[in-house]
Amino acid sequence: MLRRLLPLLGLLLLGGCATKRDVRDIGENMQELYAQQQASVRDVQRDQRALQDTVGMLLRELQDGRAETARRMANVEDLLLLLQELQGVSQQQIAGLRDQIERDRRQVVSFGTGIEPGAQGSSSSASDLYQAGVTAFRRGLYSSARVAFQDILELHANDPLAAEARFYMADILVEEGETQQAIDAFLEIPTYHPTAEKVPEAHYRAALLYLELGNREEAERHLDLVVNTWPEDGIAELARSALRDLR
């Protein structure tokens, strides 16, 4: 429209018949057109910024999605490596052991004769499960580690590695920030495995966790128990040092 007004303005000026009013009207029209053009430019710029923001957001989401995919792929690779390190412990073997335990339990109900948990399992199977659990724990795969250690407790409750498995399960709770549950898990070791080598350390670890919770009385009680009951154990010196710091 501005282009159409310019020839008209030229004709009026050349023809000598343009009045001041005509010139003023044309000037106002030109200003109005200019304002409209500026508004259109601002609209385009605003739309362009909005489009850039949208594209930026989509790019960030794409990058986040790629990072999440990479993380999941790394977890899958860790799980595959873990499965390769099971060294003969197959799902079929575990399922067979669980079936045997279930049959034993049914015999207890039917005939009133009990069979010790884990009596049907072999120590080599417990060892394989333990190695798989330790490998998973060291890689931070706590859910997989918990499954392996729990299988030891269920299938090989009388195996010497059962106390070690229970200790690791307590450590998993520590890593997950479940302090009170970790204390309870550590103190299950002297309850279920009173002669295990891990008993003094279990009391010591429980004492340290009690300190984290601000319970000095329980912490001192377990530290004293370690010092007085197992004075020659290597963990006793750590307990003495902790007691000196408290007192």
Average pLDDT over residues 196-202: 97
Given a contact cutoff of 8 angstroms between Cβ atoms, the answer to whether 167 and 198 are in contact is yes
pLDDT at 108 over 60: no
Which pLDDT does position 59 carry in this prediction?
A: 75
For the chain, the maximum distance between any two Cα atoms, rounded to a whole number of angstroms, is: 126
Q: Given pLDDT bands bounded at 50, 70 and 90, which one contains residue 116?
A: very low
> Among 64-68, 123-127, 130-134, which is the least confidently predicted range?
64-68
Across 217-245, b (16+ Cβ under 10 Å) vs e yields: eebbebbebbbeebeebebbebbeebbee
Tens of pLDDT, residue by residue over 64-94, are 666 666 566 656 666 666 665 555 555 555 5
Which pLDDT does position 122 carry in this prediction?
A: 42
Given a contact cutoff of 8 angstroms between Cβ atoms, the answer to whether 209 and 182 are in contact is yes
Which pLDDT does position 13 carry in this prediction?
A: 52
Q: Given pLDDT bands bounded at 50, 70 and 90, which one contains residue 119?
A: very low
Tens of pLDDT, residue by residue over 35-59, are 777 877 787 788 788 888 887 788 7
Name 130's Cβ contacts closer than 8 Å, sequence gap at least 6: 148, 149, 152, 161, 164, 165
Closest CA to 150 of 77, 137, 140: 137
- What is the rounded distance in angstroms from the CA atom of residue 171 to the CA atom of residue 179? 10
Closest CA to 85 of 8, 141, 25: 141
pLDDT at 236 over 60: yes
Which pLDDT does position 173 carry in this prediction?
A: 98
pTM of the model: 0.54
Which pLDDT does position 241 carry in this prediction?
A: 96
Q: What is the 3-state secondary structure (H, E, C) of the chain?
A: CHHHHHHHHHHHHHHCCCCHHHHHHHHHHHHHHHHHHHHHHHHHHHHHHHHHHHHHHHHHHHHHHHHHHHHHHHHHHHHHHHHHCCCCCCHHHHHHHHHHHHHHHHHHHHHCCCCCCCCCCCHHHHHHHHHHHHHHHHCCCHHHHHHHHHHHHHHCCCCCHHHHHHHHHHHHHHHCCCHHHHHHHHHHHHHHCCCCCCHHHHHHHHHHHHHHCCCHHHHHHHHHHHHHHCCCCHHHHHHHHHHHHHC
**Percentage of the chain with pLDDT > 90?**
49
**Percentage of the chain with pLDDT > 70?**
64
Q: Given pLDDT bands bounded at 50, 70 and 90, which one contains residue 120?
A: very low
> Among 58-72, 79-93, 101-115, 145-159, which is the least confidently predicted range?
101-115
Whole-number mean pLDDT of the chain? 79
pLDDT at 149 over 90: yes
